[in-house]
Structure 1
Protein backbone atom coordinates (compact mmCIF):
# COMPACT_ATOMS: atom_id res chain seq x y z
CA UNK A 1 0.00 0.00 0.00
CA UNK A 2 2.71 2.49 1.04
CA UNK A 3 4.74 1.59 -2.04
CA UNK A 4 1.75 2.28 -4.30
CA UNK A 5 1.20 5.70 -2.68
CA UNK A 6 4.86 6.65 -3.13
CA UNK A 7 4.76 5.55 -6.79
CA UNK A 8 1.61 7.65 -7.34
CA UNK A 9 3.24 10.70 -5.75
CA UNK A 10 6.41 10.28 -7.85
CA UNK A 11 4.30 9.96 -11.01
CA UNK A 12 2.37 13.13 -10.12
CA UNK A 13 5.60 15.05 -9.56
CA UNK A 14 6.95 13.83 -12.90
CA UNK A 15 3.80 15.02 -14.67
CA UNK A 16 4.12 18.39 -12.96
CA UNK A 17 7.69 18.66 -14.24
CA UNK A 18 6.79 17.75 -17.82
CA UNK A 19 3.89 20.21 -17.80
CA UNK A 20 6.21 23.09 -16.88
CA UNK A 21 8.88 24.61 -19.09
CA UNK A 22 10.35 26.61 -16.22
CA UNK A 23 13.25 25.58 -14.00
CA UNK A 24 14.74 26.98 -10.85
CA UNK A 25 16.24 30.46 -10.81
CA UNK A 26 19.07 32.02 -8.82
CA UNK A 27 18.40 34.34 -5.90
CA UNK A 28 21.12 36.75 -4.85
CA UNK A 29 20.93 38.94 -1.74
CA UNK A 30 23.62 41.55 -1.12
CA UNK A 31 24.14 43.54 2.11
CA UNK A 32 20.42 43.56 2.91
CA UNK A 33 19.35 45.54 5.98
CA UNK A 34 15.72 45.49 7.13
CA UNK A 35 14.00 47.12 10.11
CA UNK A 36 10.52 47.88 11.37
CA UNK A 37 11.01 51.33 12.91
CA UNK A 38 12.75 50.31 16.11
CA UNK A 39 16.12 49.59 14.53
CA UNK A 40 17.41 46.95 12.10
CA UNK A 41 16.20 43.35 12.37
CA UNK A 42 18.55 42.13 9.64
CA UNK A 43 22.09 43.45 9.29
CA UNK A 44 23.97 43.34 5.96
CA UNK A 45 22.66 39.93 4.91
CA UNK A 46 24.35 38.44 1.85
CA UNK A 47 23.36 35.05 0.48
CA UNK A 48 23.09 33.31 -2.89
CA UNK A 49 20.74 30.41 -3.59
CA UNK A 50 21.66 28.70 -6.84
CA UNK A 51 19.15 27.24 -9.33
CA UNK A 52 17.83 23.88 -8.15
CA UNK A 53 19.51 24.20 -4.74
CA UNK A 54 17.76 23.47 -1.44
CA UNK A 55 19.02 25.84 1.26
CA UNK A 56 17.94 25.53 4.91
CA UNK A 57 17.69 28.89 6.69
CA UNK A 58 18.21 28.05 10.34
CA UNK A 59 18.04 29.92 13.63
CA UNK A 60 16.06 30.38 16.81
CA UNK A 61 12.70 32.10 16.98
CA UNK A 62 13.34 35.82 16.49
CA UNK A 63 16.62 35.33 14.63
CA UNK A 64 15.26 37.11 11.55
CA UNK A 65 14.28 34.22 9.26
CA UNK A 66 10.70 35.36 8.65
CA UNK A 67 11.81 38.96 8.13
CA UNK A 68 14.27 37.82 5.45
CA UNK A 69 11.62 35.84 3.58
CA UNK A 70 9.22 38.77 3.82
CA UNK A 71 11.84 41.12 2.38
CA UNK A 72 12.60 38.75 -0.49
CA UNK A 73 8.94 38.50 -1.47
CA UNK A 74 8.24 42.22 -1.07
CA UNK A 75 6.09 42.04 2.05
CA UNK A 76 8.45 44.34 3.91
CA UNK A 77 10.72 47.00 2.45
CA UNK A 78 14.48 46.85 2.88
CA UNK A 79 16.33 49.86 4.27
CA UNK A 80 19.37 49.12 2.12
CA UNK A 81 20.99 46.43 0.03
CA UNK A 82 19.74 44.59 -3.05
CA UNK A 83 17.87 41.46 -4.08
CA UNK A 84 18.10 40.00 -7.58
CA UNK A 85 16.12 37.05 -8.90
CA UNK A 86 17.12 35.41 -12.16
CA UNK A 87 19.28 38.46 -12.81
CA UNK A 88 16.46 40.97 -12.26
CA UNK A 89 16.65 43.67 -9.59
CA UNK A 90 13.59 43.33 -7.34
CA UNK A 91 13.88 46.71 -5.61
CA UNK A 92 10.58 48.59 -5.87
CA UNK A 93 8.79 45.58 -7.38
CA UNK A 94 5.37 44.68 -5.96
CA UNK A 95 4.77 41.33 -4.24
CA UNK A 96 2.41 40.13 -6.99
CA UNK A 97 4.93 41.00 -9.70
CA UNK A 98 7.63 39.02 -7.87
CA UNK A 99 5.20 36.10 -7.73
CA UNK A 100 4.63 36.31 -11.48
CA UNK A 101 8.38 36.07 -11.98
CA UNK A 102 8.19 32.76 -10.12
CA UNK A 103 9.10 33.73 -6.54
CA UNK A 104 6.60 32.04 -4.20
CA UNK A 105 6.20 32.24 -0.41
CA UNK A 106 4.46 29.61 1.71
CA UNK A 107 3.81 31.34 5.07
CA UNK A 108 3.08 28.52 7.52
CA UNK A 109 -0.32 27.51 6.10
CA UNK A 110 -1.68 31.04 6.36
CA UNK A 111 -2.26 31.28 2.61
CA UNK A 112 -5.15 28.80 2.84
CA UNK A 113 -8.55 30.49 2.47
CA UNK A 114 -10.69 28.96 5.22
CA UNK A 115 -14.02 29.75 3.56
CA UNK A 116 -13.07 27.90 0.35
CA UNK A 117 -12.86 24.15 -0.14
CA UNK A 118 -9.57 22.38 -0.81
CA UNK A 119 -10.46 22.16 -4.50
CA UNK A 120 -11.40 25.84 -4.67
CA UNK A 121 -8.12 26.81 -2.98
CA UNK A 122 -6.16 24.88 -5.59
CA UNK A 123 -8.15 26.44 -8.42
CA UNK A 124 -7.39 29.85 -6.98
CA UNK A 125 -3.69 29.01 -6.96
CA UNK A 126 -3.86 27.89 -10.60
CA UNK A 127 -5.88 30.89 -11.73
CA UNK A 128 -3.26 32.89 -13.63
CA UNK A 129 -0.98 29.99 -14.62
CA UNK A 130 -3.36 27.37 -16.04
CA UNK A 131 -6.58 27.35 -18.07
CA UNK A 132 -9.10 24.69 -19.09
CA UNK A 133 -7.80 21.14 -19.34
CA UNK A 134 -4.31 22.20 -18.23
CA UNK A 135 -5.74 23.50 -14.96
CA UNK A 136 -7.67 20.26 -14.34
CA UNK A 137 -4.52 18.24 -15.03
CA UNK A 138 -2.45 20.42 -12.68
CA UNK A 139 -5.00 19.98 -9.87
CA UNK A 140 -5.01 16.20 -10.35
CA UNK A 141 -1.23 16.22 -10.10
CA UNK A 142 -1.35 17.98 -6.74
CA UNK A 143 -3.86 15.42 -5.47
CA UNK A 144 -1.45 12.71 -6.61
CA UNK A 145 1.34 14.29 -4.59
CA UNK A 146 -0.80 14.82 -1.47
CA UNK A 147 -3.40 12.06 -1.19
CA UNK A 148 -4.94 13.44 2.06
CA UNK A 149 -6.03 16.48 0.06
CA UNK A 150 -7.73 14.27 -2.53
CA UNK A 151 -9.78 12.66 0.23
CA UNK A 152 -10.71 16.09 1.63
CA UNK A 153 -11.19 18.00 -1.61
CA UNK A 154 -14.71 19.11 -0.68
CA UNK A 155 -13.83 20.17 2.89
CA UNK A 156 -13.51 23.85 3.72
CA UNK A 157 -10.06 25.14 4.57
CA UNK A 158 -10.99 25.85 8.20
CA UNK A 159 -12.00 22.19 8.64
CA UNK A 160 -8.53 20.86 7.80
CA UNK A 161 -5.92 19.64 10.23
CA UNK A 162 -2.67 21.56 10.55
CA UNK A 163 -0.88 19.03 8.36
CA UNK A 164 -3.58 19.18 5.69
CA UNK A 165 -3.46 22.98 5.67
CA UNK A 166 0.30 22.92 5.20
CA UNK A 167 -0.02 20.42 2.34
CA UNK A 168 -2.67 22.62 0.75
CA UNK A 169 -0.50 25.74 1.14
CA UNK A 170 2.41 23.93 -0.52
CA UNK A 171 0.16 22.49 -3.22
CA UNK A 172 -1.22 25.95 -4.01
CA UNK A 173 2.31 27.27 -4.37
CA UNK A 174 3.50 24.40 -6.57
CA UNK A 175 0.48 24.53 -8.88
CA UNK A 176 1.53 28.06 -9.88
CA UNK A 177 4.85 26.59 -11.13
CA UNK A 178 7.26 28.80 -9.17
CA UNK A 179 10.97 28.95 -9.97
CA UNK A 180 11.87 29.50 -6.32
CA UNK A 181 9.75 28.57 -3.35
CA UNK A 182 10.41 30.08 0.09
CA UNK A 183 8.80 28.29 3.04
CA UNK A 184 8.41 29.70 6.53
CA UNK A 185 8.43 27.00 9.22
CA UNK A 186 6.43 24.36 7.29
CA UNK A 187 6.89 21.78 10.06
CA UNK A 188 5.65 23.97 12.92
CA UNK A 189 3.23 22.07 15.15
CA UNK A 190 2.87 19.10 12.80
CA UNK A 191 3.13 15.37 13.50
CA UNK A 192 6.48 13.78 12.56
CA UNK A 193 4.97 11.65 9.78
CA UNK A 194 3.39 14.70 8.15
CA UNK A 195 6.67 16.61 8.45
CA UNK A 196 8.52 13.74 6.82
CA UNK A 197 6.07 13.68 3.89
CA UNK A 198 6.35 17.44 3.33
CA UNK A 199 10.15 17.38 3.52
CA UNK A 200 10.35 14.41 1.15
CA UNK A 201 8.03 16.11 -1.35
CA UNK A 202 10.16 19.26 -1.29
CA UNK A 203 13.40 17.36 -1.82
CA UNK A 204 12.09 15.17 -4.63
CA UNK A 205 10.30 18.03 -6.40
CA UNK A 206 13.49 20.10 -6.26
CA UNK A 207 15.51 17.25 -7.76
CA UNK A 208 13.04 16.33 -10.48
CA UNK A 209 12.10 19.83 -11.53
CA UNK A 210 15.20 21.85 -10.64
CA UNK A 211 13.07 23.94 -8.28
CA UNK A 212 15.05 26.32 -6.06
CA UNK A 213 14.04 26.05 -2.39
CA UNK A 214 14.73 28.34 0.58
CA UNK A 215 13.47 26.63 3.73
CA UNK A 216 13.28 28.62 6.98
CA UNK A 217 13.06 26.13 9.85
CA UNK A 218 13.56 25.57 13.56
CA UNK A 219 13.37 21.82 12.87
CA UNK A 220 17.11 21.70 12.23
CA UNK A 221 17.46 17.95 11.78
CA UNK A 222 14.61 17.69 9.26
CA UNK A 223 15.73 20.73 7.28
CA UNK A 224 19.39 19.71 7.05
CA UNK A 225 18.38 16.16 6.04
CA UNK A 226 16.98 17.44 2.71
CA UNK A 227 19.15 20.52 2.17
CA UNK A 228 22.24 20.98 0.06
CA UNK A 229 23.39 23.91 2.20
CA UNK A 230 22.57 25.43 5.55
CA UNK A 231 22.63 29.12 6.46
CA UNK A 232 22.51 29.94 10.18
CA UNK A 233 21.07 33.30 11.28
CA UNK A 234 21.56 34.70 14.78
CA UNK A 235 20.31 38.11 15.92
CA UNK A 236 19.81 39.22 12.34
CA UNK A 237 23.25 38.25 11.07
CA UNK A 238 24.55 35.24 9.16
CA UNK A 239 26.93 33.34 11.40
CA UNK A 240 27.47 30.22 9.27
CA UNK A 241 26.95 29.18 5.64
CA UNK A 242 28.07 25.80 4.39
CA UNK A 243 27.38 22.23 3.36
CA UNK A 244 24.34 20.87 5.18
CA UNK A 245 26.02 17.68 6.35
CA UNK A 246 29.11 19.55 7.55
CA UNK A 247 26.98 21.99 9.56
CA UNK A 248 25.03 19.14 11.15
CA UNK A 249 28.29 17.52 12.23
CA UNK A 250 30.01 20.70 13.48
CA UNK A 251 29.70 20.66 17.31
CA UNK A 252 30.51 24.34 17.71
CA UNK A 253 27.69 25.39 15.36
CA UNK A 254 25.26 22.82 16.70
CA UNK A 255 25.68 23.73 20.35
CA UNK A 256 25.94 27.51 19.91
CA UNK A 257 23.13 28.11 17.41
CA UNK A 258 21.17 24.98 16.52
CA UNK A 259 20.26 23.60 19.92
CA UNK A 260 21.33 19.98 19.53
Structure 2
Protein backbone atom coordinates (compact mmCIF):
# COMPACT_ATOMS: atom_id res chain seq x y z
CA UNK A 1 0.00 0.00 0.00
CA UNK A 2 0.99 3.64 -0.50
CA UNK A 3 1.99 5.60 2.59
CA UNK A 4 -0.14 8.70 3.12
CA UNK A 5 2.09 9.76 6.02
CA UNK A 6 5.70 8.72 6.57
CA UNK A 7 7.73 9.67 9.65
CA UNK A 8 11.46 9.05 9.66
CA UNK A 9 13.76 9.47 12.66
CA UNK A 10 11.77 12.22 14.36
CA UNK A 11 13.51 13.87 17.29
CA UNK A 12 11.47 16.55 19.05
CA UNK A 13 11.99 18.31 22.36
CA UNK A 14 10.51 20.91 24.69
CA UNK A 15 12.90 23.37 26.28
CA UNK A 16 15.90 21.37 25.19
CA UNK A 17 14.68 18.06 26.65
CA UNK A 18 13.91 15.44 23.96
CA UNK A 19 10.38 14.03 23.99
CA UNK A 20 10.56 11.93 20.82
CA UNK A 21 13.67 9.88 20.16
CA UNK A 22 14.01 8.87 16.52
CA UNK A 23 10.36 7.92 15.89
CA UNK A 24 9.69 6.22 12.55
CA UNK A 25 6.54 4.64 11.13
CA UNK A 26 4.11 4.94 8.21
CA UNK A 27 0.36 5.35 7.91
CA UNK A 28 -1.02 3.68 4.79
CA UNK A 29 -3.51 5.53 2.65
CA UNK A 30 -7.11 4.80 3.63
CA UNK A 31 -6.16 3.17 6.93
CA UNK A 32 -6.64 3.91 10.62
CA UNK A 33 -3.50 3.74 12.75
CA UNK A 34 -3.95 3.88 16.53
CA UNK A 35 -1.11 5.69 18.28
CA UNK A 36 -1.27 4.41 21.85
CA UNK A 37 0.69 4.67 25.07
CA UNK A 38 0.43 6.20 28.51
CA UNK A 39 0.67 9.81 29.64
CA UNK A 40 4.03 11.28 28.70
CA UNK A 41 4.66 8.79 25.91
CA UNK A 42 4.84 11.59 23.32
CA UNK A 43 1.58 11.11 21.42
CA UNK A 44 0.48 14.76 21.45
CA UNK A 45 4.01 15.97 20.68
CA UNK A 46 4.08 13.72 17.64
CA UNK A 47 0.73 14.97 16.30
CA UNK A 48 1.72 18.60 16.85
CA UNK A 49 4.94 17.96 14.95
CA UNK A 50 3.10 16.43 11.99
CA UNK A 51 0.66 19.35 11.88
CA UNK A 52 3.50 21.91 11.97
CA UNK A 53 2.95 23.33 15.44
CA UNK A 54 6.31 21.93 16.61
CA UNK A 55 9.56 21.74 14.67
CA UNK A 56 11.67 18.58 14.90
CA UNK A 57 15.37 18.88 15.60
CA UNK A 58 15.96 15.85 13.38
CA UNK A 59 14.00 13.59 11.08
CA UNK A 60 11.38 14.10 8.37
CA UNK A 61 7.63 14.12 7.84
CA UNK A 62 6.27 13.29 4.38
CA UNK A 63 2.63 13.76 3.37
CA UNK A 64 1.86 11.72 0.24
CA UNK A 65 5.55 11.87 -0.62
CA UNK A 66 5.91 15.62 -0.03
CA UNK A 67 8.51 16.71 2.51
CA UNK A 68 6.81 19.04 5.01
CA UNK A 69 10.02 20.45 6.50
CA UNK A 70 9.47 23.93 5.07
CA UNK A 71 5.67 23.82 4.82
CA UNK A 72 3.70 26.00 7.26
CA UNK A 73 0.55 25.02 9.12
CA UNK A 74 -1.90 26.65 6.68
CA UNK A 75 -0.20 25.12 3.66
CA UNK A 76 -0.31 21.70 5.33
CA UNK A 77 -4.07 22.12 5.65
CA UNK A 78 -4.29 23.02 1.97
CA UNK A 79 -2.20 19.95 1.17
CA UNK A 80 -4.82 17.77 2.85
CA UNK A 81 -3.84 17.55 6.52
CA UNK A 82 -6.23 18.32 9.39
CA UNK A 83 -5.93 17.96 13.16
CA UNK A 84 -8.51 17.80 15.94
CA UNK A 85 -6.60 18.62 19.14
CA UNK A 86 -7.35 17.27 22.57
CA UNK A 87 -9.99 19.31 24.37
CA UNK A 88 -12.64 19.69 21.65
CA UNK A 89 -11.65 23.15 20.39
CA UNK A 90 -15.09 24.45 19.50
CA UNK A 91 -15.80 28.19 19.41
CA UNK A 92 -18.52 28.28 22.04
CA UNK A 93 -19.96 31.67 21.03
CA UNK A 94 -20.79 30.40 17.53
CA UNK A 95 -23.56 28.04 16.41
CA UNK A 96 -22.94 24.54 15.11
CA UNK A 97 -23.43 25.72 11.53
CA UNK A 98 -21.08 28.68 11.99
CA UNK A 99 -18.40 26.41 13.47
CA UNK A 100 -18.75 24.04 10.53
CA UNK A 101 -18.48 26.86 8.00
CA UNK A 102 -15.20 27.91 9.58
CA UNK A 103 -13.76 24.54 8.60
CA UNK A 104 -14.41 25.32 4.94
CA UNK A 105 -13.42 29.00 4.85
CA UNK A 106 -10.54 28.46 2.44
CA UNK A 107 -12.64 26.45 -0.02
CA UNK A 108 -13.52 28.56 -3.05
CA UNK A 109 -16.59 26.65 -4.24
CA UNK A 110 -19.82 27.51 -2.34
CA UNK A 111 -21.60 24.46 -3.76
CA UNK A 112 -18.79 22.21 -2.54
CA UNK A 113 -19.01 23.77 0.92
CA UNK A 114 -22.78 23.22 1.04
CA UNK A 115 -22.28 19.59 0.05
CA UNK A 116 -19.65 19.14 2.77
CA UNK A 117 -21.94 20.67 5.42
CA UNK A 118 -24.79 18.37 4.38
CA UNK A 119 -22.49 15.36 4.56
CA UNK A 120 -21.41 16.24 8.12
CA UNK A 121 -25.03 16.58 9.24
CA UNK A 122 -25.74 13.16 7.75
CA UNK A 123 -22.74 11.58 9.47
CA UNK A 124 -23.38 13.26 12.83
CA UNK A 125 -27.17 13.37 13.15
CA UNK A 126 -27.18 15.23 16.52
CA UNK A 127 -25.51 18.19 14.77
CA UNK A 128 -28.27 18.36 12.17
CA UNK A 129 -30.93 18.51 14.88
CA UNK A 130 -29.18 21.36 16.69
CA UNK A 131 -27.49 23.35 13.91
CA UNK A 132 -28.55 26.69 15.41
CA UNK A 133 -27.41 25.82 18.95
CA UNK A 134 -24.40 27.66 20.34
CA UNK A 135 -21.25 25.75 21.20
CA UNK A 136 -21.64 26.31 24.92
CA UNK A 137 -25.08 24.67 24.80
CA UNK A 138 -23.71 21.34 23.55
CA UNK A 139 -22.86 18.22 25.51
CA UNK A 140 -19.28 16.96 25.56
CA UNK A 141 -20.11 14.34 22.96
CA UNK A 142 -21.76 16.88 20.65
CA UNK A 143 -18.75 19.19 20.96
CA UNK A 144 -16.41 16.37 19.99
CA UNK A 145 -18.58 15.48 17.01
CA UNK A 146 -18.58 19.14 15.99
CA UNK A 147 -14.79 19.43 16.30
CA UNK A 148 -14.31 16.36 14.10
CA UNK A 149 -16.96 17.47 11.61
CA UNK A 150 -15.40 20.93 11.32
CA UNK A 151 -12.06 19.34 10.42
CA UNK A 152 -13.76 17.05 7.89
CA UNK A 153 -15.52 19.96 6.15
CA UNK A 154 -12.10 20.87 4.73
CA UNK A 155 -12.10 17.41 3.10
CA UNK A 156 -8.66 16.38 4.37
CA UNK A 157 -6.80 13.38 3.04
CA UNK A 158 -5.16 12.74 6.42
CA UNK A 159 -6.88 13.41 9.76
CA UNK A 160 -5.00 13.60 13.07
CA UNK A 161 -7.09 13.01 16.19
CA UNK A 162 -5.79 13.59 19.72
CA UNK A 163 -7.72 11.76 22.46
CA UNK A 164 -11.20 12.10 20.87
CA UNK A 165 -12.80 9.81 23.48
CA UNK A 166 -11.54 11.75 26.51
CA UNK A 167 -14.36 12.22 29.04
CA UNK A 168 -17.10 10.87 26.79
CA UNK A 169 -19.73 8.20 27.42
CA UNK A 170 -18.98 4.77 25.86
CA UNK A 171 -21.95 4.98 23.46
CA UNK A 172 -20.73 8.34 22.11
CA UNK A 173 -17.20 7.00 21.73
CA UNK A 174 -18.51 3.99 19.81
CA UNK A 175 -20.48 6.26 17.46
CA UNK A 176 -17.45 8.45 16.73
CA UNK A 177 -15.21 5.44 16.11
CA UNK A 178 -17.81 3.91 13.80
CA UNK A 179 -18.03 7.10 11.73
CA UNK A 180 -14.25 7.28 11.37
CA UNK A 181 -14.04 3.66 10.24
CA UNK A 182 -16.87 4.21 7.77
CA UNK A 183 -15.19 7.28 6.28
CA UNK A 184 -11.90 5.46 5.79
CA UNK A 185 -13.60 2.52 4.10
CA UNK A 186 -15.87 4.66 1.93
CA UNK A 187 -13.76 7.68 1.02
CA UNK A 188 -10.15 6.60 1.51
CA UNK A 189 -9.60 9.01 4.40
CA UNK A 190 -6.44 8.26 6.40
CA UNK A 191 -6.58 8.60 10.19
CA UNK A 192 -3.82 8.76 12.81
CA UNK A 193 -5.65 8.34 16.11
CA UNK A 194 -3.83 9.09 19.39
CA UNK A 195 -5.73 7.49 22.24
CA UNK A 196 -5.50 6.32 25.83
CA UNK A 197 -8.73 4.36 25.27
CA UNK A 198 -6.61 1.60 23.79
CA UNK A 199 -9.29 -1.05 23.41
CA UNK A 200 -11.62 1.35 21.58
CA UNK A 201 -8.89 2.63 19.28
CA UNK A 202 -7.60 -0.83 18.38
CA UNK A 203 -11.14 -2.04 17.68
CA UNK A 204 -11.39 0.24 14.62
CA UNK A 205 -7.71 0.48 13.66
CA UNK A 206 -5.83 -1.46 11.02
CA UNK A 207 -2.53 -1.09 12.86
CA UNK A 208 -1.35 0.04 16.25
CA UNK A 209 1.84 1.92 17.07
CA UNK A 210 2.83 1.82 20.73
CA UNK A 211 4.88 4.72 22.09
CA UNK A 212 6.84 4.38 25.31
CA UNK A 213 8.85 7.35 26.59
CA UNK A 214 9.13 8.82 23.12
CA UNK A 215 10.15 5.65 21.30
CA UNK A 216 8.26 3.17 19.15
CA UNK A 217 7.90 0.04 21.26
CA UNK A 218 5.73 -1.90 18.80
CA UNK A 219 4.17 -1.46 15.35
CA UNK A 220 1.81 -4.31 14.51
CA UNK A 221 -1.66 -5.15 13.20
CA UNK A 222 -4.23 -3.89 15.69
CA UNK A 223 -5.65 -7.34 16.44
CA UNK A 224 -2.19 -8.70 17.22
CA UNK A 225 -1.47 -5.85 19.62
CA UNK A 226 -4.77 -6.33 21.42
CA UNK A 227 -3.89 -9.98 22.04
CA UNK A 228 -0.31 -9.41 23.23
CA UNK A 229 -0.57 -9.73 27.00
CA UNK A 230 2.99 -8.56 27.65
CA UNK A 231 2.47 -5.28 25.78
CA UNK A 232 -1.01 -4.84 27.20
CA UNK A 233 0.21 -5.03 30.77
CA UNK A 234 3.40 -3.03 30.21
CA UNK A 235 2.12 -0.18 28.03
CA UNK A 236 -1.57 -0.36 27.23
CA UNK A 237 -3.30 -0.61 30.60
CA UNK A 238 -5.95 -3.19 29.80
Which residue matches 1:4? Answer: none
Residues 108, 166 of structure 1: 8 Å contact kept: no
Distance in 2 (CA, whole Å) between partners of 1:251 and 1:67 is 27
Q: Is structure 2 residue 171 aligned with structure 1 residue 211?
A: no
Match of 1:45 among 18, 23, 26: 23
Q: Does residue 125 in structure 1 map to residue 103 in structure 2?
A: yes
Give the secondary-structure state (helix, strand or coil) at the position aligned to 1:177. Answer: coil
Alignment gaps of 5+ in structure 2: none
Deviation of residue 183 (structure 1)?
0.1
Normalising by structure 2, report the TM-score.
0.96
- 1:147 equivalenced with 2:117 (yes/no): no
User: For residues 114 and 148 of structure 2, what CA distance do their matches in structure 1 show?
Assistant: 17
Structure having the larger proportion of residues in strand: 2
Within 5 Å, which residues of 2 pair with 1:82-231? 82-129=60-107, 131-231=109-209
Shift of 1:66: 0.2
Tell me by how many angstroms 1:82 deviates: 0.6
Q: CA offsets, 1:199-235, max 9 Å, x none?
A: 0000010000111110000001100000000000011
1:131, CA displacement in angstroms?
Answer: 2.8
What secondary structure does 1:63 align onto?
Answer: coil
Quote the residue 1:30 is aligned against: 8
Any unmatched runs of 5+ in structure 1? 1-23
Distance 1:158 1:37 in 2: 35
TM-superposed deviation, 1:134: 2.6
| Contact 2:84-2:161 at 8 Å conserved across structures | yes
Shift of 1:156: 1.2
How many pairs align? 237
The SS at the match of 2:21 is strand
Q: Residues 28 and 47 of structure 1 are in contact (CA less than 8 Å); yes or no, is this contact kept in structure 2?
A: yes
Structure-2 residue corresponding to 1:244 = 222
Aligned to 1:3: none
Go from structure 1 to structure 2 and tell me whether the alpha carbon gap of 1:124 and 1:25 turns closer, same or farther (over 3 Å shift). Answer: farther
Counterparts of 1:25 and 1:175, CA distance in 2? 23
User: Considering only aligned residues, what root-mean-square deviation do their CA atoms show, in Å?
Assistant: 1.3
Q: 1:189 to 1:114 in 2, by over 3 A?
A: same
Q: Distance in 2 between matches of 1:131 and 1:84?
A: 28
Cα offset, 1:151, TM superposition: 1.5
- Please name the residue that 1:10 is paired with: none
For residues 238 and 134 of structure 1, the distance between their equivalents in structure 2, rounded to whole angstroms, comes to 40
Deviations 1:213-258 (A, max 9, x none): 1000000110000000000001111100001000000111111110
State whether residues 3 and 26 of structure 2, in contact with CA within 8 Å, keep that contact through their aligned partners in structure 1. no
Match of 2:211 in 1: 233
**Paired position in structure 2 for 1:75:** 53
